[in-house]
Amino acid sequence: MSESLLEVRNLEKYFPIKSGLFQRTTGHVKAVDGVSFDINRGETLALIGESGSGKSTIAETIIGLKSATGGSITFDGEDITDLSESELEDLRTKVQMVFQDPTSSLNPRRTVEQTLEVPLKARGVPRGERVSRIVDLLERVELNPEHRHRYPHELSGGQKQRINIARAISIEPELLILDEPTSALDVSVQAKIVRLLDDLQEEFDLTYLFITHDLSLVRNVAERTAVMYLGQIQERAQTEQLFEQPHHPYTQALLSAIPVTSDDEEAYKPQQDRLEGEIPSPENVPTGCRFHTRCPYATDVCETDQVPLHAVDDHGEARCHIYDPEHADAFENVPDVKTAAAVRSTPHE
């Protein structure tokens, strides 16, 4: 049994842009453009990045809601890049997803019991056992079993998301993809859902792909983090190291936007200001390094040459020319991005 449960290699998802009377394809939205990562069994990998960077598209491609236009996805040693409907049904007994909006994920005309019955029935759980399984599931997501008679409109946002989580774990999947599972909820409810997910992960030995733009959350949930920008991973590292010493100017800018909680943190905060300007359109990605239009360190080479992920300091990788010895001359006159890296010692609660 290999250590990694999921392997994503050079994943591409290009959406055609059609225009004119004949709806000719005039270009492509490169929503996901050469993304690779692994998730080991039992671990949590966080995927972070600004809106539109391609996070949900990756999730939906893994679970087969969208088909990849390039690259491959392997789950538990099997290629799942291009599955038939019946193969997808099988896959979804092992890979489940929880979406951002807890309301639209539930059928308003079904009670909780009816909703939770569907996957159990599909899995062949006999009718007589279903209610006790549903009661069990509700208890596991810390809801009163009486809630099974309620309709979605009779539940709070947090309760609805608990039902979505109960449905996702009801068939005992191995991988749970969580796409902004708490961002539609109040802060106090978010913390409870995160704690629940943490407990469930331990209890069921679950592997998580955790998508979020809430950086302070990442630190509490994920062993490793990948930072997305315009369809590409810009940096990959152990989460703790990413926070202590972000290597990519983009990650530094993202982290500098988190409020500091102590003088120490202030002292080591990345020197860069918040990100300026809008994220460019993925219909028309910048040449060279995709981040060069917003990067304070960008030089000529960044405008012209694409960047691979460079290994940095034995831990993590960053898609930045600064880490390429060949381009050392080009960055002679810019402040050393490595020393501008943050040391953020206090974990966020």
Ligand X SMILES: Nc1ncnc2c1ncn2[C@@H]1O[C@H](COP(=O)(O)OP(=O)(O)OP(=O)(O)O)[C@@H](O)[C@H]1O
Q: How far apart are CA 288 and CA 34, in angstroms?
A: 15
Residue 45 touches which member of Mg ion, ligand X, none, C-beta under 5-8 Å by kind: none
The reply to whether 105 sits near ligand X by the rule CB under 6 A is: no
Task: Specify the stretch interacting with ligand X by CB under 6 A; choose among 53-61, 148-156, 234-242, 260-268.
Answer: 53-61
User: Which among 227, 248, 213 has a CA at the least distance from the CA of 37?
Assistant: 227
The single residue listed with the structure tokens 């360190």 is 297
Q: How far apart are CA 123 and CA 116, in angstroms?
A: 12
Residue 54 touches which member of Mg ion, ligand X, none, C-beta under 5-8 Å by kind: ligand X
Beta-ladder partners of 29? 15
Q: Least Å distance between CB 54 and ligand X?
A: 4
| Residue with Cβ nearer ligand X (29 or 177) | 29
Is 294 in contact with 277 (CB distance < 8 Å)?
yes
Task: Specify the stretch interacting with ligand X by CB under 6 A; choose among 2-10, 49-57, 199-207, 323-331.
Answer: 49-57
Is 94 in contact with 76 (CB distance < 8 Å)?
yes
The reply to whether 61 sits near Mg ion by the rule CB under 5 A is: no
Q: How far apart are CA 18 and CA 23, in angstroms?
A: 5
Binding residue (CB under 6 A) for ligand X from 25, 51, 84, 86: 51
User: Which among 196, 223, 195 has a CA at the least distance from the CA of 209?
Assistant: 223
| Residue with Cβ nearer Mg ion (56 or 182) | 56
Q: Least Å distance between CB 179 and Mg ion?
A: 6
Binding residue (CB under 6 A) for ligand X from 5, 39, 45, 55: 55
Which bin fits 317, alpha (ψ -120 to 50), beta or left (φ > 0)?
Answer: beta
| Residue with Cβ nearer Mg ion (56 or 81) | 56
Could you tell me which residues come within 8 angstroms of residue 158 by beta carbon, excluding any fewer than 6 positions away? 102, 185, 186, 189, 192, 193
Is 207 in contact with 169 (CB distance < 8 Å)?
no
Q: Least Å distance between CB 276 and Mg ion?
A: 23
The reply to whether 52 sits near ligand X by the rule CB under 6 A is: yes
The interface mask with ligand X, positions 173-212, x = CB under 6 A, is ----------------------------------------
| Residue with Cβ nearer ligand X (29 or 138) | 29
Tell me which residues in 29-58 interact with Mg ion (CB under 5 A). 56
The reply to whether 57 sits near ligand X by the rule CB under 6 A is: yes
Q: Is 79 helix (H, G, I), strand (E, B) or coil?
A: strand
Task: Specify the stretch interacting with ligand X by CB under 6 A; choose among 44-52, 82-90, 157-165, 296-304.
Answer: 44-52
Q: Least Å distance between CB 234 and ligand X?
A: 13
Binding residue (CB under 6 A) for ligand X from 9, 12, 15, 327: 15
Phi, psi of 201 (to 5 degrees): -60, -45
Q: How far apart are CA 312 and CA 135, in angstroms?
A: 50
The reply to whether 225 sits near ligand X by the rule CB under 6 A is: no
Tokens of 235: 């940096």
User: Which among 103, 5, 76 has a CA at the least distance from the CA of 45?
Assistant: 5
Which positions touch ligand X (CB under 6 A)?
15, 29, 31, 49, 51-57, 213, 282
